[in-house]
């Protein structure tokens, strides 16, 4: 704080009196209406006076206040500074009012702060500054940007600076500069650059062919990128379907139990996440790990409930699918109502850790959202674990033996009842794990599960009952088909189309993509 003050003082001494006057003159506008504020911000940005930086930052953060006498004050911690001089002032009797801004002022601020922060030592600030200056599209920024480009070493910031330079050149009066600007913008794959070019059409009728060519070039690159993004969205939806369906692939696919309460196990997993987060909230070293912690917790909770359900109810109804369906449907409703009574009907908030927020830029400017990327990776890990458990463990071997030839497995000394319970618990536990992941992208409410039950059955049946590979391929192909159709048909119709397509497919191949072969299939 002191250092900033000292710097401000030195600057005030060093600057010629006229510049100081211009800044002081522009300041009161910041306390006016939105129009006056925007004008004042633009003036301060154009002056390039670094003393305006703390004032503009304060305005952007809501720390600029209006004193009772109309003077502007900056709140810095629990101190008040005079906006014009930067000197600390005693706290006035009347509480100073916060100065509010709107989007128009925010746009002006982004440009002005961009001009002032383009020399910042912090790369994140420089990147934001390049974005801000880019959106100003003003020829006045040319010298500033040229100077910044000679200094800049970070490729990502350079890229944005080039774009900003291109946009500024396009806004200049010189025809050659305009041409260079169009070329620079056209060399990018940025939708914003495309917007700048299209906007410039009206004012540059003479350059229309060049502009059109540049837009076409961007469009070609964007098309590739859009295809990649649609693919990612499809994979992401597929991973959600896969997670939701994996548990069912075990209980329905392997055991043949039509478990209508499957969605409720997913929901219970999500609520376990809420509980784990509530419990760890006040333990600082544990709180960031609440989500990874919720995974085993959710598995245990839902597996236990699943085992109890199998031992208590379902085992009495083996071989009677209709009764099982009705029974599990009823249990599902009871679980839903129990959760509603315990946690309330309102949605519960789940905290997303910082590493699951925001967008990740892949090479080629392909934007993927972090939370979806994590869920995609998580679904594959869970799938791998399930496959490993079934293939390589003693439990998996017994499970396969019991589902293939119960009588023979039993005569070989396998306790079939215990294996049934464990298998059902295993499938339910996986549904619980899915709930942890889904809590990050969906609303955690007692109804969470009902949204996934149909999709889960769809995936398992489409992929081929009893085949994990089928579940995997089924989930991802349904996800991608859905996302490819969505832009054409809209979210509602795309889903209808997918349903119709699956219906036709099942008519042709009743056993799905990967039908079970051999004796197990006939059993």
Closer residue to another protein (CB): 236 or 516? 236
Q: Are 178 and 149 in contact (CB under 8 A)?
A: no
First-residue to last-residue Cα distance in the chain? 78
| Tokens coding 238 | 């597929």
Residue 488, CB half-sphere, CA atoms under 13 Å: how many? 10
Q: Which of residues 391-420 bind another protein (CB under 8 A)?
A: none
Closer residue to another protein (CB): 405 or 495? 495
Taking only Cα atoms into account, the Rg of the chain, rounded to an integer number of angstroms, comes to 31
343 binds another protein (CB under 8 A): no
Q: Are 134 and 142 in contact (CB under 8 A)?
A: no
Q: Which of residues 483-512 bind another protein (CB under 8 A)?
A: 483, 486-487, 490-492
Q: Which stretch binds another protein (CB under 8 A): 44-52, 274-282, 283-291, 340-348?
A: 340-348
How far apart are alpha carbons 255 and 251 in whole angstroms? Answer: 5
Q: For another protein, what does the binding mask look like between residues 116 and 155, x meaning CB under 8 A?
A: -------------------x--------------------
Question: Which position among 51, 110, 137, 169 is part of the footprint of another protein (CB under 8 A)?
Answer: 110
How far apart are alpha carbons 148 and 298 in whole angstroms? Answer: 52
Closer residue to another protein (CB): 35 or 364? 35
How far apart are alpha carbons 56 and 47 in whole angstroms? Answer: 13
233 binds another protein (CB under 8 A): yes
Question: Which position among 25, 146, 174, 199 is part of the footprint of another protein (CB under 8 A)?
Answer: 199
- Collapsing DSSP to helix, strand or coil, 485 comes out as helix
Using CB under 8 A, count the residues that bind another protein.
56
359 binds another protein (CB under 8 A): yes
Pairing of strands 64-66, 97-98: antiparallel
Taking the complex as a whole, the smallest distance from the CB of residue 111 to another protein amounts, in Å, to 10
63: phi then psi, degrees, rounded to nearest 5 = -105, 5
* Number of neighbouring beta carbons within 10 Å of residue 341: 10
| Tokens coding 255 | 């055991």
Q: Which stretch binds another protein (CB under 8 A): 69-77, 103-111, 426-434, 466-474?
A: 103-111
20 binds another protein (CB under 8 A): no
What is the DSSP-derived secondary structure letter of residue 66?
E
Burial (CB < 10 A; 0-12, 13-18, 19+), residue 407, is: exposed
Which single residue is written with the structure tokens 């029974």?
Answer: 327
Question: Which position among 154, 349, 393, 504 is part of the footprint of another protein (CB under 8 A)?
Answer: 349
278 binds another protein (CB under 8 A): no
Question: Which position among 20, 39, 204, 226 is part of the footprint of another protein (CB under 8 A)?
Answer: 226
341 binds another protein (CB under 8 A): no
Taking the complex as a whole, the smallest distance from the CB of residue 453 to another protein amounts, in Å, to 14
Closer residue to another protein (CB): 438 or 468? 438
| Nearest CA-CA partner of 199 in 135, 123, 109, 146 | 135
Question: Which position among 104, 220, 391, 415 is part of the footprint of another protein (CB under 8 A)?
Answer: 104
Q: Which of residues 172-191 bind another protein (CB under 8 A)?
A: 191
Taking the complex as a whole, the smallest distance from the CB of residue 197 to another protein amounts, in Å, to 7
How far apart are alpha carbons 351 and 356 in whole angstroms? Answer: 10
How far apart are alpha carbons 420 and 315 in whole angstroms? Answer: 8
What is the DSSP-derived secondary structure letter of residue 364?
T
| Tokens coding 464 | 């081929």
Q: Which of residues 424-483 bind another protein (CB under 8 A)?
A: 441-443, 445-447, 451, 483
Residues at the interface with another protein (CB under 8 A): 34-35, 62, 100, 102-104, 106-107, 110, 135, 191-192, 194-201, 222, 226, 229-230, 233, 236-237, 240, 340, 345-347, 349, 352, 357-359, 367, 369-372, 441-443, 445-447, 451, 483, 486-487, 490-492
């Amino acid at each position: 704080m002191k250092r900033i003050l000292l710097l401000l003082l030195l600057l005030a001494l060093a600057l010629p009196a006229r510049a100081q006057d211009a800044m002081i003159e522009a300041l009161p506008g910041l306390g006016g209406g939105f129009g006056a504020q925007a004008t004042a911000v633009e003036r301060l940005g154009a002056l390039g006076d670094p003393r305006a930086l703390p004032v503009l930052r304060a305005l952007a953060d809501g720390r600029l206040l209006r004193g009772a006498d109309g003077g502007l004050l900056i709140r810095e911690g629990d101190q008040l500074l005079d906006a014009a001089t930067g000197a600390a002032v005693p706290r006035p009797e009347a509480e100073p009012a916060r100065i509010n801004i709107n989007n128009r002022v925010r746009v002006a601020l982004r440009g002005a702060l961009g001009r002032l922060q383009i020399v910042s030592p912090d790369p994140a600030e420089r990147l934001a500054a390049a974005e801000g200056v880019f959106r100003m599209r003003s020829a006045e920024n040319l010298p500033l940007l040229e100077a910044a480009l000679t200094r800049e070493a970070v490729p990502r910031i350079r890229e944005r600076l080039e774009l900003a330079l291109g946009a500024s050149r396009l806004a200049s009066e010189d025809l050659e500069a305009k041409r260079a600007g169009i070329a620079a913008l056209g060399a990018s794959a940025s939708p914003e650059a495309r917007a700048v070019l299209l906007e410039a059409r009206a004012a540059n009728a003479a350059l229309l062919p060049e502009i059109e060519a540049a837009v076409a070039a961007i469009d070609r690159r964007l098309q590739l990128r859009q295809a990649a993004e649609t693919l990612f969205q499809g994979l992401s939806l597929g991973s959600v379907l896969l997670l939701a369906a994996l548990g069912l692939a075990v209980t329905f696919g392997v055991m043949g139990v039509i478990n209508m309460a499957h969605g409720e196990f997913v929901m219970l997993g999500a609520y376990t996440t809420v509980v784990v987060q509530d419990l760890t909230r006040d333990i600082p070293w544990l709180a960031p790990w609440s989500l990874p912690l919720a995974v085993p917790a959710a598995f245990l909770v839902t597996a236990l409930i699943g085992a109890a359900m199998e031992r208590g109810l379902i085992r009495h109804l083996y071989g009677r699918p209709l009764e099982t369906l009705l029974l599990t449907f009823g249990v599902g409703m009871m679980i839903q109502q129990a959760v509603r009574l315990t946690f309330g009907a309102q949605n519960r908030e789940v905290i997303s850790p910082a590493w699951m927020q925001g967008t990740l830029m892949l090479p080629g400017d392909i934007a993927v959202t972090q939370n979806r990327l994590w869920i995609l990776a998580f679904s594959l890990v869970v799938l791998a674990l399930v496959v490993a458990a079934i293939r390589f463990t003693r439990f998996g071997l017994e499970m396969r033996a019991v589902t293939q030839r119960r009588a023979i497995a039993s005569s070989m000394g396998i306790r079939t009842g215990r294996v049934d319970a464990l298998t059902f618990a295993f499938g339910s536990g996986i549904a619980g794990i899915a709930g942890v992941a889904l809590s990050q992208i969906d609303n955690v409410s007692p109804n969470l599960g009902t949204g996934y039950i149909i999709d889960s059955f769809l995936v398992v049946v489409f992929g081929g009952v009893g085949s994990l590979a089928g579940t995997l391929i089924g989930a991802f192909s349904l996800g991608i088909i859905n996302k490819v159709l969505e832009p054409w048909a809209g979210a509602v119709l795309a889903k209808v189309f997918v349903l119709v397509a699956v219906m036709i497919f099942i008519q042709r191949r009743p056993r799905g993509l990967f039908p079970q072969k051999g004796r197990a299939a006939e059993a």
